Structures are given as C-alpha cells and as structure tokens.
A and B are shown apart, each in its own frame.
Chain A
Amino acid sequence: MALLEVENLSIGYNTKGGYLKAVEGVSFALEEGQSLGFVGESGCGKTTIGMALMGLLPSNGSITQGRILFEGEDLLEISEKKMRQIRWGKIAMIFQAAMNALNPVQRVVDQIAEAIMTHSPAVGKRGAIEQVKDLFQIVGIPQERMRDYPHQYSGGMKQRAIIAMALACRPKLIIADEPTTALDVIVQDQILEETKNLQREFNIGMIFISHDISIVADVSHDIGIMYAGQLVEYGAREEVFESPVHPYTKALLSSYPTITGDRSLLQPIPGETPNLIYPPDGCRFCDRCPGAKPGCGEESPVWVDVSPGHKTLCYHC
C-alpha cells in the first residue's frame, strides 16, 4: 500500500471575481520513504495541494472532488479531531517563508518542545526538551543556541529550526513548500543535502513544492509538472528531465538558465498563464503551445502513457 494516494483531486476558491478552479483532477501516489516534487509557476495550484493534504485550506477554499488516502484512510472523511492528530503527528509541513513561521517572542527550544508536548503530553516538559536537543543535533544547530530567540538566528538556522519542528513528532510524510526560497545558494545547498540525509535516515515520504526546477530535480525521485491547476506530466526524475514530452515541460526547461552545458538562447514561453476563473476549453496550455493543433482548444486532453510510470496530459506528443 502506498503511503499516500491522491485520486482525482479538485479544489476551488470562492473569490470576489468568481469561483476559481485552483486544482483540477490531480492524481498521484507516494511510497514510504520516497520523494515527489511538484514544479510549476505561480498560481498553478501546487501550494493549494500541499494545504489540502494538511487539511489547512483557507476558509474560502473547498475540495470539490476526489480522495486523499493516507495509509489507506481517506483524510477527507475523518473527523477534525482525528485530523488534528495526523496533522504534525504524521504529516508535517515546512511552510513557504519559514523565516516568519517562528514566534518571535518565544525561545526556539520552547516552541519546538510545545509542539512535542501537544502531541504526546506523557513526555513532559523535561522529556520534550531532551528531544529538542536530539533534534537540534540532527539538523545541525549548536546546542548552545537552543535558548536563543528567533531573531538571533541566521536565515539558514531558522530554516533548520523549522525542519527540526517538522521532524519533532516523527512524521511519515513531510510537505516542503518552497523550503529554501529565501536562502542564499550555499545555505540552500546545505539544507537540501541535510534534508535528503534525514529523509533516508528516517524513511520519511516527502513532497517538495517549488517554482525552481533545479531544486526539485536535486531532491525528488518522481516529478510532477503542473500548469494552470492541472498536472501535465508525471514520471521519474530522469525521465521527465532527460526526455520531457509535454510541450509545457519542454518550454519550462528551455526557459531556465543553467551553468552546465552550452550557453544557448533561452526560449521564453510567450504569453501569460490563463485565468482560472474562466479556464479555457480544451488544453489549458494551447494558447502558448508551439505545437498546438486544430482541436487542442476544444477538446480536453487525456492522459497518455509515454513509458511505464511516465505519462503526459497531451494528445500530440
């Protein structure tokens, strides 16, 4: 049984302008100890998926369709009380802009200890602090900095503290939403390396969410490319990056400057992403697609298998 199976998930938001279809018909699965990366540009729905998995959608958001099976149990069917145990206990999240996720007027050690005590009151304060000590060792923060306040930490240390907090209850699944966006490249590299090691050591399933292909490529076994609320290509990392099939994946890869290989002209994707309150009929990438054919704008595309485990949402590739 997979650790997580998401089937045909659709999520929308009530907004002033109308009903926004943020995520539509997304399905994927994650095995224990594996990692999955979602890449897409702003507004593609990747963060919404993360929030839905945590049961933390904002009040104007709702799941209109689909199932989220975690260890075989549908998270959309269980009580809020049960969900509260699973959230942080079994599924933890590293939020975007983690620098702001710490309480500025509480010592870092107390914040993490509190999270531990909330989920296992039997541990007691002293026991919780012992656990924090271990966690800091794991994520590489010196012990003598435990009693500091968040403002005394550098950006990288705050990020490590946030990772420590995510690990605190020994979760089975961690969702990392842009975990390194605000960090400098050297610190980012250290944090990603650390994360990979922790994942292996504790056999944690991970979902990485980022707009930055290179980060996701670095840490994920499987990759899902998202565009305008839909998953458009899905497969093993090597497959998706070395032989991409969906025109959007190809376009995204060739719009990204690298330091390896030849310095070739970047191919920007013309146009802008569609409005998801009135999504276009047919394929959503059709307007910007260099290979669009008559009919792409009318009929919704269906999933096509490229090779075992590698599939794409496009007729023509």
Chain B
Amino acid sequence: MDNQPNPILQIEDIRKVYKTKGSVLGGPGTDVVALDRISLEIYKGEIFGLVGESGSGKTTVGRLIVSLEKANQGEIFLDDVEITGLKGRALKGFRRRVQMIFQDPYQSLNPQRSVYDTISEPLAVHAIGNPETRQELVEEAMKSVGLSPPGDFLHRYPHRLSGGQRQRVAIARAMVLRPQFVIADEPTSMLDASISAQIFNILLEMRENLSVTILFITHSLAAARYLCDRIAVIYRGNLMEIGPGEEIIRSPRHPYTQALIDAIPKFGHSGEIKRYGTLLGTEREGTNGLCCAFFPRCKVASETRCGEERPRLNECSPLHSVACHYAEEGFEL
C-alpha cells in the first residue's frame, strides 16, 4: 500500500435502527439500534476486516453498503460518489462495481440453476458480451477460483457440489463482473477448516491479481488477522477499535478487544499466556443510553465517566484509533 492511503469507500456517521413489531395485544414495538453513528474508511486494494459477535451490526454494515437496506442517517461514498440515494441506471452501474459473497453457499445458490447459469447471469443482467464471450468470461472466473477444468463443473447443479465448491461458485459469480469492491460476509462459517483455508487463499489471490478491495466480515479475530491489512472491532453497533491487523492482535487498546482476545482458545502455545482480564464477572446496569456500549461488562470503566458519556474514536497512534476514555492514559487492573 502507498504511504498515502487512498479511500475507495467512506462511511460517514451511519445510523441504522430496526423497529420491532409490537405485540399482538397492542403493546408498542421497540427500536433496536443496529448501528450507532459509525464512520470508517476503506482503502483501495486492502482487505479490511470487520470483526464482531452476533448482533454487533457487522452484517448490517455490509447490507447498507450494497444498498440492500437504507440507513436512517448518514452517507456512504464509493469513489467520492454518494451511493445511498442512487436510483435507476446509476444504481445498476454501482451494483456492477460492488458485489457480495454471502455466508451460506447452501442458500445463496439457486438449486435449479447450473453453475454456468449462475455465474453468467450477472453478465446477462449487465448486458456484457455475447454468448460466446460470456462462456469465456465464466470459464476464466471459474479457473480463478480453482474450479478447473471448468468443463467438469459448468453444467452441474448445486446439489452435485460440495460446500467448498459451492462457495467457489458464489465467489466466481461475484468476481465475473470484475467489481472494484467485494463484501465477503462470513464466507467460511459453514465450511470445514481445511476448506476455509482454501477460500481464504482464493480471496488473497483475488486481491493480488485483480486488485479488488475486500470488506471481510467475520466473528473470528484469527481469520481476520490472517486475511486483513486492517481490522475494525464492532460491538453493539459501535466501533470500538480500528487499526492495522497485527497491531490490533498484539497490542489491543480497547478493553473489549482485549476481552475478545482473552476468550479465544489458544492452542499449541502452552505456558505463558497473558490475560488482560478486562471482562467484568457480573454485568452491571447500563446507566442510560449515553454510556459506553461496553460499560456494563467493562472492568476498567468508571461510573462517572464511562457511565455518562459515550467515548468517540480517537487516534492513539497513526492508523490506530480507539473509542475508550481510558485508552489514552492507559489503565492498570
């Protein structure tokens, strides 16, 4: 990457609220804040990891970027063009440049369409090439994800593919349009370790050969560390920490990131395992809507500061930002 990182995607002050249905007896619905004023930049050519637990809002970020959902507030820019308001032709053009790989290849492929139909459909939708050139493009995309020789797979239907092969088809479908930006939402959570590693390496090759930018959404810090240049940690709709991948793993600054790292089982390294111990044994009450998202579970937090005021992301070293009142001065437990 250059010294001057060049953002391809900018998310500014995004807020997303889901309304739950009221009860059948007429009770009121409640608002669930999925994303609470999130801002981040993704640089051209990087693999950016968004790491969070279930319900943290990580998938919502991906869905907002591909315009599968609308934010309640905030703006998203792709190459300096605001995309949340795109319509018609402009939206179609945008969709050609941004593609998504979904979590479950058992559900994201249409069982009644062959591999060729599935991968060539985006070409037809965007009126690219004629039938012969399309076949060439499809075969090329298949080779790039390791489905070769393509002839063996072209006319198969999903039920005759293994999970790993299905996910390769899904990746080929996303890549056949040569998008600039790809969102991979937990692409390996349904796959075995040995197959996951194959998929990880395909994503690394894509970035290398096709200079695509990838947003990798995952619950696994270990997978993010392996793939990503930078990692952002998200908790209950709030960005807690963002920085270079290796730095986040080796010297996390946010108590929540530290608690996550504590919790990951470490094997093959018996002996000296340092624990940060930032997780509170029993949760305390969140004081009000203004408190830090991690306040109820944070050992470091103080009632007066963290319970009253939600910390903003602050740079603690170049490229590394933390949303914690105590990260700057450091804390001892």
Binding site for B on A (CB under 8 A): 41-42, 184-186, 188-190, 192, 211-215, 217-218, 238, 241-242, 251-253, 255-261, 263, 265-270, 272
Contact = CB atoms under 8 A, between A and B. Distances in A.
Contacts of B197: 255-257, 266-269
B201 A259 contact: no
B195 A268 contact: yes
B331 interface: no
B270 A238 contact: yes
Given A41-B192, A185-B219, A269-B194, A263 B265 contact: no
Contacts of A265: 201
- Where chain B touches its partner, the secondary structure class is helix
Interface in B238-284: 246, 249, 259-270, 279
A258 B197 CA distance: 12
B124 interface: no
Nearest to B249: A259
A281 B228 CA distance: 41
Contacts of A238: 270
Contacts of B267: 213-214, 217-218, 241, 258
A258 B266 contact: yes
A219 to B, nearest CB: 9
Contacts of B220: 185, 257
A259 B222 contact: yes
Contact of A258 (B162, B198, B222, B246): B222
A258 B193 CA distance: 12
Across the A-B interface, the 7 shortest Cβ-Cβ residue pairs: A217-B267, A189-B263, A268-B197, A269-B194, A41-B192, A268-B198, A255-B197
B94 interface: no
Given A184-B219, A213-B193, A266-B226, A241 B268 contact: yes
A236 to B, nearest CB: 12
Nearest to B222: A257
Contact of A214 (B53, B262, B266): B266
B275 to A, nearest CB: 11
B54 interface: yes
B196 interface: yes
A256 B220 CA distance: 12
A217 B198 CA distance: 23
Contact of A189 (B195, B265, B268): B265
A201 B154 CA distance: 57
A270 B201 CA distance: 12
A270 B192 CA distance: 13
Contacts of B270: 238, 242
B122 interface: no
A258 B261 CA distance: 11
Contacts of B201: 265-266, 268
B223 A258 contact: no
A261 B268 contact: yes
Contact of B279 (A186, A241, A260, A267): A186
Contacts of A215: 265
Interface in B193-246: 193-198, 200-201, 219-223, 225-226, 246
B164 interface: yes
A255 B222 contact: no
B233 to A, nearest CB: 12
B222 A189 contact: no
Given A263-B246, A266-B201, A252 B193 contact: yes
Nearest to B163: A42
Given A214-B267, A256-B222, 17 more contacts: A41-B194, A185-B219, A185-B260, A186-B260, A189-B262, A189-B265, A192-B265, A211-B193, A214-B264, A242-B270, A255-B196, A256-B197, A257-B200, A257-B222, A257-B225, A257-B226, A263-B225
B299 to A, nearest CB: 13
Contacts of B53: 184-186
A153 B138 CA distance: 48
A251 B264 contact: no
B192 A186 contact: no
Given A185-B264, A263-B246, A266-B226, A255 B194 contact: yes
A212 B196 CA distance: 12
29 contacts: A41-B194, A41-B195, A186-B279, A188-B263, A189-B263, A189-B264, A189-B265, A190-B263, A192-B265, A212-B193, A214-B267, A217-B265, A217-B267, A218-B267, A252-B193, A252-B194, A255-B197, A256-B193, A257-B200, A258-B266, A258-B268, A259-B222, A259-B249, A260-B266, A263-B225, A263-B246, A268-B194, A268-B197, A268-B201
Contact of B192 (A42, A185, A188, A253): A42
Contacts of A189: 262-265
Given A184-B219, A185-B53, A41 B261 contact: no
B268 A253 contact: yes
Contacts of B198: 268-270
A259 B225 CA distance: 7
A242 B268 contact: yes
Nearest to B248: A259
Contacts of B259: 186
Contact of A259 (B162, B192, B196, B221): B221
